[in-house]
Chain A
Amino acid sequence: MTQEFSAVGLSSARRDSSEKAGGAAKFADDYSVPGMLYGAILGSPIASGRIKSIDLTEAKTVPGVVSILTADDLPDRRVGSFIKDEVTLARGYVRFVGEPVAAVAAETKEAADLAAQLIIVDFEDLPSVCSLDEALAEDAPLVHPGQDDYVRTSETPTNGNIFWSASILEGNPDAVWDSCDVIVEDTYETPGQYHAYMEPCSALAEPDLAGRITVRSTAQSIFYIQGRISDELDIPMSNIRCVAPKIGGGFGGKNGVSVQPIAVALARASGRPVKITLSRSQDMEMLRSRHPTRIRMRTGAKKDGTLVAREAELWFDAGAYTDESPAVLSFGMLCSRGPYNCPNISVKGHAVYTNKLKAGSFRGFGNPQATFASESQLDALAVKLNMDPIELRRKNAMKAGDHWLGGQTVDSCAMTQCLDALDERLKEEVSALPPAEEGWQRGVGVSGLSHISGLMGTSAFVNLRADGTVALQTGVVDIGQGSDTVLPQICAETLRLPLESIAYAAQDTDSSPYNWKTAASRITYTAGRAVMQATVEMRERILRDAADMLECSKDDLELDIGGTVRVVGADRKVSFREIAARAFNRVGGPIVGQHAFAFDGPRFDPKRAAMSNFAFDNLGVYVFGAVGVVVDVDTVTGKTIVQKVWSAHDIGRAINPQSVEGQVQGAVVQGVGYALLEELVWENGRLTNPSFMDYKIPDGMDAPSEITVMLIEEAPEATGPFGAKGIGEAPIVGVAPAIANAVFNATGARLTRIPMTSERVLNGILSL
């Protein structure tokens, strides 16, 4: 077969982008159906309390109100993936401001909102804990006094508000501190970050007369949502159909449920379709954030920069419910060594309940927090050692065949190549930039980074159409990351067809093959693998039939671009259309292919590491990278502007380079927001900035004007489709530490707390 590609490696425009640019693409809130009611949710006004009584009398008098629900109207169930501590509507107690207490369905949105406001809840205020310090204090009030009765997936010890603790030990750090030439130690703090997907969460639930219900909602997985609705409301999955509309961004925030179970409960109670769309401030107060963390870290090295030992303890502020915290914490811990070798390391981690919005998955999944600490320490080490920061990283960088913390082997790794590429570009391009404005100081900072790509089960189904084109099905929801284009590209390439020949079905739990979630940067790698294997299976059948038709051996055949099979070196060929026609009607039946698998890569190695209470036992393949930034700091105000970013990524292979670049640039800007601007702030248990007026994310003027993406394709992943690995999360991971290191480089102030607001930077400069 010739090497030219028909679809992979081409920057094909996103397949759904024309619909989106024309305004025709439909997102959840864009659907309206006849007879539809509007839902509204009453959130708790207090951070912690006991519900003494709920009075619906006044709310019921609002004209147009059809149904009002409280916990008493729902099955008495607690749900959750790790600890079953969550309920659909508050039952007996509320644990954070915004927690859903009651829900209304009415003929108009205004009536629903008004009725929700008129529900009178009599609370007994209880003491609350709204920060790590408060939650960890001696005699702190407990967020879940009954936590020992909850069903858990693992019997991890609890301690007050700490509901999950885990540890890893490799080597013996305590024994080697004395042998280190330099040691750095600090405590780092990172904020709660809001996902700020542009589309607020929404769900439309439509019941039918047969007792089934169809749900269109903002979600990163139709199957997970189906399962959760089933679990919360005790409805068999066969009666729940989840369909994916267009999703306006997710970044982890739409990984779990939002308002779907409530919409379904209202639809069942009223017998009518119900749509709930959250306002921006409800979305911010009710759903989830990135975990605020505190990380104490200590690192020791030899004079030549060789890392000798690290010790870290991480506290993750999980908010009022467990959600995915054990997994986020575990992954953050696993990333506490970063992409470097270091023989002696001890990491301890704790997830802590507080009376706040729950924290859950968010692009990076615990890794940005750990990497902020780790890469800040490497920078401090480089300064102490008077060593070039890239050289220090290169010296310790992992290589193929090395082991990740926990013992999993790493088969493909281009960490060194990423550092080299970054080094080269910085040397060429930093000095070429126009100088900083008067009164501003310039600094350069770098960070290494790594992440995983993989996890869990997925499947794909392909079939050949009568005209020789192909229909592909997966259960993968495209949340804006581009899988609707990339997965068909993989299918097309495997058959050497142009992308236009692949029809890709919208996702529907009634018909799509199973996929876990659009999360963990796993889609291109895992679903891509399933698509490729399914397509290979179909290709084998096509070749077998072609061999029959051309009366030759299958081994003598090759695929031409465009849907023909030819005998190598001869002018005898047969088209997919001819093969399909024969198969459909006469010989062998329709030509299909399918593949299903769960991530099956290397596991942790108990011989290398002592690990306790991890939320999972293997993860995926590792991806590596390096990021460099140039910042200008205004010494008058402390304001920091990121002028330029270079982001190098070990991607294995870029299936769609334009799409990959877009993912990287978007993640970098999210990282810039995390580093400089974004912080959810609570006062007395209340979120003080639940709007884009008070919670700022970067717009086009705040974002760096240049972001250079370097795709390093030197270490293809043997198990990935065409060598590809995932890219969704990695590029956010190193941004905050690179900026912090650049601020240090510019001003001499080392900030250990993000966001590095102008105020914190100025105070840092003034206290030098």
Chain B
Amino acid sequence: MTESNDIPIRLTLNKSLKSVFCKPTETLLSLLRDGFGLTGSKRGCNQGLCGACTVLIDGKPMRSCLTIAATCNGRDVVTVEGLLENGKLSTMQQALVDSGGVQCGFCTPGVAIALTSLLREDPKPDRTKIREALSGHLCRCSGYIKIVDAAEAAAEKAGS
């Protein structure tokens, strides 16, 4: 059901081109979850504070809950689902699994996005850099240590 003030947009979503109508106040998070059925991005707060909805927009981590979907016209959006490589977990995602960085998993999609972006910009970050990249990603289960381990392990693996 489209209404007169719905906005047509085109965006690249996880490498494929999509055309869609969105409502003027619809957030990217709602569009992803309700419009595209991409429920990997989570709504933990809808206020920019928990990080669970983080996606890459034009290559940079941003909060999809604070992004008006219509502003994504012409942009490139990558969600946690889009990090998969040939249907398999990426090195970073696999490292989260192997290092025990995934417990309930609700924060994991946002964490995977943030760390993927970090490793693209800095392939050999130290633990302080990794923690800085995780700033603003709340995880109530893990105590963060194994998430930091995972980023180190992924950097190691990618470097070898």
Contact = CB atoms under 8 A, between A and B. Distances in A.
Interface stretch (B5-13, B56-64, B66-74, B131-139): B131-139
Contact of B104 (A246, A661, A670): A246
B46 A279 contact: yes
A238 interface: no
Contacts of A665: 142-146
Interface residues of A, number: 58
10 contacts: A14-B102, A23-B80, A29-B43, A196-B140, A197-B104, A197-B106, A699-B136, A703-B143, A705-B127, A706-B145
B135 A699 contact: yes
Contacts of B93: 18, 21-22
B27 interface: no
Interface string B60-98: 000000000000000000011101100001000110111
Contacts of A661: 100, 146
Interface string A239-264: 00000001111010000000000000
Contacts of B96: 17, 21
B100 A249 contact: no
B68 to A, nearest CB: 16
B31 interface: no
Contacts of B158: none
B107 interface: yes
Interface in B32-52: 33-34, 37-47, 49-50, 52
Contacts of A152: none
Interface stretch (A379-387, A475-483, A594-602): A475-483
B100 A198 contact: no
Contact of A18 (B80, B89, B135, B136): B89
Given A21-B93, A198-B104, A199-B106, A668 B143 contact: yes
Contacts of A703: 143-145
A366 B101 CA distance: 28
B144 A669 contact: yes
B141 interface: yes
Contacts of B19: none
A199 B146 contact: no
Q: Which of B106, B139, B142, B146 has the most CB of A within 10 A?
A: B106
Q: Which of A23, A24, A692, A707 has the most CB of B within 10 A?
A: A23
A21 B34 CA distance: 20
A292 interface: no
Contacts of A481: 103
- Pick the 9 closest A-B CB pairs, nearest first: A23-B40, A480-B104, A20-B105, A665-B143, A248-B106, A23-B80, A17-B102, A30-B39, A700-B134
B112 interface: yes
B40 A24 contact: yes
A378 interface: no
A53 B34 CA distance: 37
Nearest to B93: A21
Contact of B100 (A658, A669, A701): A658
A284 to B, nearest CB: 10
Nearest to A694: B49
Contact of A22 (B43, B52, B84, B103): B84
B28 interface: no
Interface string A687-710: 000011100010111010111000
A563 interface: no
B97 to A, nearest CB: 4
B127 A249 contact: no
Nearest to B136: A699
Interface residues of B, number: 56
B147 interface: yes
B22 interface: no
B135 A700 contact: yes
A664 B146 CA distance: 11
Contacts of A70: none
B118 to A, nearest CB: 12
A27 B106 CA distance: 8
B47 A692 contact: yes
Contact of B141 (A18, A25, A480): A480
A198 B47 contact: no
A628 interface: no
Contact of B140 (A23, A25, A198, A700): A198
Nearest to B128: A705
A534 B93 CA distance: 35
Contact of B134 (A14, A658, A667, A699): A699
A480 B146 CA distance: 14
Contacts of B79: 23
Contacts of A197: 104, 106, 140
Nearest to B79: A23
B5 to A, nearest CB: 14
B103 A13 contact: no
B155 interface: no
Contact of B105 (A480, A669, A693): A480
A700 B144 contact: yes
Contacts of B44: 198-200, 248, 280
A682 B9 CA distance: 45
Interface in A659-690: 659, 661-662, 664-670
Nearest to A697: B138
Given A21-B97, A23-B112, 12 more contacts: A13-B98, A16-B105, A19-B105, A20-B108, A23-B83, A198-B44, A198-B140, A248-B106, A249-B104, A666-B140, A669-B144, A692-B49
Interface string A1-45: 000000000010110111111111111011010000000000000
A169 to B, nearest CB: 39
B143 A198 contact: no
A25 B105 contact: yes
Given A29-B43, A30-B39, A705-B131, A662 B106 contact: no
A280 B52 CA distance: 13
Given A14-B97, A199-B42, A700-B131, A247 B104 contact: yes
Given A196-B140, A662-B100, A662-B142, A692 B50 contact: yes
B13 to A, nearest CB: 13
Contacts of A20: 102, 104-105, 108
B15 to A, nearest CB: 15
Q: Which of B40, B84, B107 has the most CB of A within 10 A?
A: B40
A654 to B, nearest CB: 13
Interface in A619-677: 658-659, 661-662, 664-670
Contact of A23 (B34, B38, B146): B38
A23 B46 contact: no
Given A13-B97, A699-B136, A479 B147 contact: no
B100 A666 contact: no
Contacts of B104: 20, 197-199, 246-249, 479-480
Contacts of B52: 198
A3 to B, nearest CB: 25
Nearest to B30: A109
Nearest to A250: B104
A693 B47 contact: yes
A662 B81 contact: no
Contact of A11 (B100, B112, B138): B100
B16 to A, nearest CB: 16
A246 B102 CA distance: 13
A662 B105 contact: no
Given A20-B102, A249-B104, A665-B145, A691 B81 contact: no
A697 B49 CA distance: 11
A670 B139 CA distance: 10
Contacts of A668: 143
A691 B45 contact: yes
B143 A666 contact: yes
A12 to B, nearest CB: 10
B143 A251 contact: no
Contacts of B139: 198, 666, 700
A29 B45 CA distance: 13
Given A20-B102, A21-B108, A197-B104, A666 B142 contact: yes
